[in-house]
């Protein structure tokens, strides 16, 4: 078996092998140049991204601080309203408690159970009578 070797014919209109080699070298150098430029500009672009990120972070912190301040102001206002409401509720509870005490005392008095004041008055009178009896007993 014989091998047939075919050689490519070079068309004079497409250029010579040295022209193709030169063109391939230019493509290679263009690729290297692009790589170098991307490396250089990539670093610069990275720095620009960092600066842009810092600006966004600063603005974000400012917005968060403003929102936090507004929320704290609303909380303080709500606390004030709760304190005012609490005071009014305590006043109302005191009124209800006094009314309840008055009604219970009235009901107990109607059925003949003496009030605390009645017991204290009676106790004071007993103390006076006891003292008087002791004086009379000493004189005799």
pLDDT tens-digit series, residues 90-135: 989 999 999 998 898 888 888 988 888 888 999 999 999 999 999 9
Q: What is the pLDDT of residue 6?
A: 52
Q: Higher confidence at residue 131 or residue 4?
A: 131
Domain locations along the chain: 18-133
3-state secondary structure 59-81: HHHHHHHHHHHHHHHHHHHHHHH
Question: 87 falls in which pLDDT band (50, 70, 90)?
Answer: confident
Stretch 3-12: mean pLDDT: 56
- The b-or-e profile of 38-75 (16+ CB within 10 A means b, else e) is eeeeeeeeeeeeeeeeeeeeeeeeeeeeeeeeeeeeee
- pTM: predicted TM-score of the whole model, two decimal places: 0.40
State yes or no: pLDDT of 82 exceeds 80.
yes
- When the pLDDT of each residue in the chain is averaged and rounded to a whole number, the result is 84
Stretch 72-95: mean pLDDT: 91
């Amino acid at each position: 078996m014989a091998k047939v070797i075919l050689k490519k014919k070079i068309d004079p209109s497409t250029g010579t092998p040295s022209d193709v080699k030169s063109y391939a070298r230019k493509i290679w150098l263009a690729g290297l140049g692009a790589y170098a430029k991307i490396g250089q500009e990539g670093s610069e672009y990275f720095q620009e991204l960092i600066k842009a990120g810092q600006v966004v972070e600063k603005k974000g912190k400012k917005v968060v601080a403003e929102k936090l301040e507004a929320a704290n102001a609303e909380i303080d206002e709500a606390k004030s309203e709760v304190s005012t409401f609490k005071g009014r509720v305590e006043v109302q509870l005191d009124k209800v408690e006094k009314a309840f005490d008055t009604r219970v005392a009235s009901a107990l008095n109607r059925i003949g159970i003496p009030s605390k004041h009645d017991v204290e008055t009676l106790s004071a009178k007993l103390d006076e009578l006891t003292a008087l009896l002791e004086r009379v007993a000493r004189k005799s």
